[in-house]
Amino acid sequence: MSLPATSSDGFWSDTGKTGIASWIFSTDHKRIGLLYLYSVLGFFLVGVLLGVLLRLELMAPGRTIMGPQTYNATFTVHGVVMIFLFIIPSIPASFGNLVMPIQIGARDVAFPRLNLFSWWLYVIGAVIVLTALFTGGGPPDTGWTFYVPFSAKTGTNVSLAVLGVFVLGFSSILTGINFVTTIHRLRAEGMTWGRLPLFVWSLYATAWVQILATPIIAITLVLVFVERVVGTGLFDPSRGGDPIMFQHLFWIYSHPAVYIMILPAMGVISEIIPVFSRKPIFGYKMIAFSSLAIAAAGSVVWGHHMYTSGMSDTAILVFSFLTFIVAIPSAIKVFNWVSTLYKGSISLEAPMLFALSFVLLFSIGGLSGLVLGAAATDIHVHDTHFVVGHFHYVMFGGTGFAFFGALHYWLPKFYGRRYAEKPALVAWALMFVGFNIMYFTMQVLGIRGMPRRYYDYLPEFARLNLVATIGSWILVLGLIILLVNLFRGLFRGEAVGANPWGGATLEWSIPTPPPTENFEEDPVVTHGPYDFKGAGKP
Amino acid sequence: MSHPEHKDYTGAKFGMWLFLFTELLLFGGLFILYATYLTRYPQQFAAGGKELNVVFGTANTVILLTSSLFAAMAVTSVQKGDRTTTLRLLGLTVLCAAIFMVNKYFEWSAKIHHGIYPGSPRLGSAPLGESVFFGLYYVTTGLHGLHVLVGAGLLSWIGMKVNHGKIHQGDFVTLENGALYWHLVDLVWIFIFPLYYLIL
Ligand code: HEM
């Protein structure tokens, strides 16, 4: 089944079109995956820049580099860019497209043209969002959550921004439909559900959430748009509407959306850990099942964002209880990863370091999530920097670090060259240290009562804020080293063969870089994804 | 190394059904709002419902149901390989859509003429729940109307493909999916009609 690695350029050369058209009109899942990858990376850098500006403003009390209105706009745009343009499409749309079809033994996704259309919708949505920053009343200042009544009243350009997010949601739905259909219909012979790589399982669960949750935010944003344009009054108390209904509708999507963000990352970790421990994954079935369980349970916990909204006490109790249930499948995964490491022959290379830091950072984020899930404690830390620290731990420490791990793990396969190991380790160490200095400090600040979304604070918070800001510099320094080393390596680094890490999933059985059609002949799968006996040694 | 173009009939329908779910959920958000506001303002909703014209509503229901029948028949006739009948039936479906929209136009203009529209002075002085009712009415029927337009556009495009022989007895899944979409548009209306025109 495994084919010899050839020295051809694979999908890089073998195409009918030329120049830029061979990319932006390509229906090859690998090219679309790379298009997504560079788009989300670009927006990630924009978001990081804005985040660093936020931290600079908070470096000292009072006005440091910007005033209140600019600060409001900056954290809103930082949030919108990071959530809708970076993290939701990050792993599923880039690495999902790049490797999922190969991992199931397919030549492409089920609907290649729809796949290209999704990317175009993403670009169009992004352009609309960016246009909103420079037109109308200026960049939105509502926070990424667009809460009414403020979002219905503010003079900034919220209308265009929600329209852009609507289009981005449509793009996300189409990717979801495409992936579910692909995984059902295009698995190679012998690729049973029990042999699906766990990354594919996680994408499968994610895709369902994308399909089932995204329409709700679509209609919610439409309502905000209509409210602003014609004033239907559906959320306006002076005309009988109820702003809390907005919060319900918003979080019915946006809570499941955090599982769109984290599940694919968990999939990446489930691929990296067994390969770098040279041991089959512990508890394959439970990891696969817990992805679905997280997706299902995660759909009914949205109310935990609303404990202080004035919703009924019964509802608070029920949502609090349900929230604790989501912790179970998440913990199952963590325990399984740790058990996989046990007595493994662990090699601490860059992808593995990112994977291991994922496990730690995600656990810190998850445990602080329990503090927020319990209504009694949440009421004290709601809307403080504790929350900001919490979601950066899960989204950045979790998904972000998994994304960096995936960059190091899979990109050499597609470029045929790899990064240098030493600088990658330095970059990882700086990022890990900087990250914890910044966000752990923010959590402490939150517990002491520093609210989120303010450009100024009381003098007693000054010292810790300075520490957090210094952390952000260390983090960014690490990030720069990481990206320079990674991309220099991909273009000029040492060449790699078909299977540099000794993985057993199908993508390592084909030549590097993969040919346009992925497989010379339709593969027949005879062993599980973590059965390393037959796989080549690194 | 060449491979025949990938065609997967079941996959195409599977994908379409998934898409239809998302459409149901899109309208689902509006139905949730309807349910909550109805329990909060039962009297005002009843008063608002009385203002709606049952004749228009019923006529549009009959028209949409008939159009769905035409769409289903178009699928059968393309399966039988009868291109002319397929085109004729698609034409009738689109015609029904047009009549539906014309009716809607008259219905809305009559309402607006009576001073019932979002932000109107009349609704401003009405009891609180009534403006919520009409707000929902306009958003829901407006979004549905938009879907009628999209569906009609889709079916016309499919008609062109049938005419050019791109959709035929051997490969008709696009038409079938178009018809499925049309049935969804119909189905959503089947819920809107009683909720707004009948039960209140
Ligand atoms: C170097 C990287 C980053 C820095 C320095 C940074 C910094 C910050 C700061 C200081 C805030 C709080 C603003 C406030 O409440 O006063 C914030 C908010 C936020 N950040 Fe980040 N962040 C970074 C990366 C990320 C990443 C990777 C994500 C998501 C994947 C993210 C998502 C968010 C969101 C959603 C908010 C909330 C915005 C709002 O309140 O509406 N950030 N960030």
pLDDT surpassing 80 at residue B6: no
What's the confidence (pLDDT) of residue A171? 96
What's the confidence (pLDDT) of residue B120? 83
SS3 content of chain B, % helix, strand, coil (to 5): 85, 0, 15
Q: How far is the CA of A351 from the centre of ligand 1 (A)?
A: 24
Contacts of A176 in chain B (CB under 8 A): 18
A166 found inside a domain: yes
Where in the sequence is the domain holding A502, given as residue range(s)? 24-509
Confidence label for B5 from pLDDT (cuts 50, 70 and 90): low
What's the confidence (pLDDT) of residue A535? 55
Domains of chain B: residue spans and CATH: 27-198 (1.20.120.80)
SS3 content of chain A, % helix, strand, coil (to 5): 70, 0, 30
Kindly state whether A522 is in contact with chain B, defined as any CB-CB distance less than 8 angstroms.
no
A7 found inside a domain: no
Q: Which of A173, A180, A219 is the best substitution to test chain B (most B C-beta atoms within 10 A)? A: A219
Whether B32 and A241 lie within 8 Å, measured CB to CB? no
Q: Which residues of B touch A (CB under 8 A)?
A: 1, 3, 6, 8, 10-11, 14-15, 18-19, 21-30, 32-33, 36-37, 40-41, 44, 118-119, 123-124, 127-132, 135-136, 138-139, 143
Angstroms from B45 CA to nearest CA on chain A: 12
Angstroms from A515 CA to nearest CA on chain B: 11
pLDDT surpassing 90 at residue B2: no
Q: How far is the CA of B131 from the centre of ligand 1 (A)?
A: 39
Residue ranges of chain A whose pLDDT lies below 50: 1-7, 536-538
Report the residue from A107, A114, A248 with minimal CB separation from B3.
A107
A514 found inside a domain: no
Contacts of B3 in chain A (CB under 8 A): 107, 517
In Å, what is the CA distance from A189 to each residue of A196, A304, A335?
12, 44, 32
A303 found inside a domain: yes
pLDDT digits (tens, 9 = 90+) for B150-188: 999 999 999 999 999 999 999 999 999 999 999 999 999
CATH classification of the domain holding A36: 1.20.210.10
Report the residue from B24, B27, B135 with minimal CB separation from A234.
B135
Kindly state whether A17 is in contact with chain B, defined as any CB-CB distance less than 8 angstroms.
no
- In sequence order, the 6+-apart residues with CB closer than 8 A to the CB of B172 are B75, B78, B79
A150 found inside a domain: yes
Higher per-residue confidence, B50 vs A535: B50
Mean pLDDT confidence for B96-119: 92
Whether A219 and B29 lie within 8 Å, measured CB to CB? yes
- In sequence order, the 6+-apart residues with CB closer than 8 A to the CB of A4 are A498, A511
Residue owning the nearest CA to atom 43 of ligand 1? A51
A2 found inside a domain: no
* Total domains, chain A: 1
Helices A158-185 and A112-134, axial angle in degrees (round to 10): 160
**Number of the ligand 1 atom closest to the C-alpha atom of A75:** 38
A532 found inside a domain: no
- In sequence order, the 6+-apart residues with CB closer than 8 A to the CB of A493 are A417, A418, A419, A420
pLDDT digits (tens, 9 = 90+) for B121-143: 888 888 888 889 999 999 999 99
Residues with CB under 6 A from ligand 1: A 47-48, 51-52, 54-55, 75-76, 78-79, 82-83, 86-87, 143-144, 388, 392, 395-396, 400, 452-453, 472, 475-476
Kindly state whether A153 is in contact with chain B, defined as any CB-CB distance less than 8 angstroms.
no
Residue owning the nearest CA to atom 27 of ligand 1? A396
Q: What residue has token string 């009390």? A: A61
Handedness of CA B88, B89, B90, B96 (dihedral sign): positive
Residue of A nearest to B19 (CA): A177
Kindly state whether A367 is in contact with chain B, defined as any CB-CB distance less than 8 angstroms.
no
Whether B18 and A181 lie within 8 Å, measured CB to CB? yes
Peptide bond into A149 cis (omega under 30): yes
A294 found inside a domain: yes
Residue owning the nearest CA to atom 20 of ligand 1? A79
Long-range contacts: A33-36, Cβ < 8 Å, 24+?
A33/A93, A33/A94, A33/A95, A33/A96, A33/A97, A33/A98, A33/A99, A34/A94, A34/A98, A34/A414, A35/A119, A36/A89, A36/A93, A36/A94, A36/A97, A36/A119, A36/A122
Report the residue from B11, B28, B131 with minimal CB separation from A240.
B131
Q: Which of A166, A23, A179, A167 is nearest to A93 (CA)?
A: A179
Angstroms from B18 CA to nearest CA on chain A: 6
Contacts of B18 in chain A (CB under 8 A): 176-177, 180-181, 211
Angstroms from A177 CA to nearest CA on chain B: 6
What's the confidence (pLDDT) of residue A2? 35
Q: What is the mean pLDDT of chain B?
A: 92
Residue owning the nearest CA to atom 33 of ligand 1? A79
Residue owning the nearest CA to atom 35 of ligand 1? A79
**Number of the ligand 1 atom closest to the C-alpha atom of A472:** 5
Report the residue from A173, A177, A231 with minimal CB separation from B118.
A231
Q: Which of A443, A441, A431 is nearest to A390 (CA)?
A: A443
- Hey, is B168 helix, strand or coil? strand
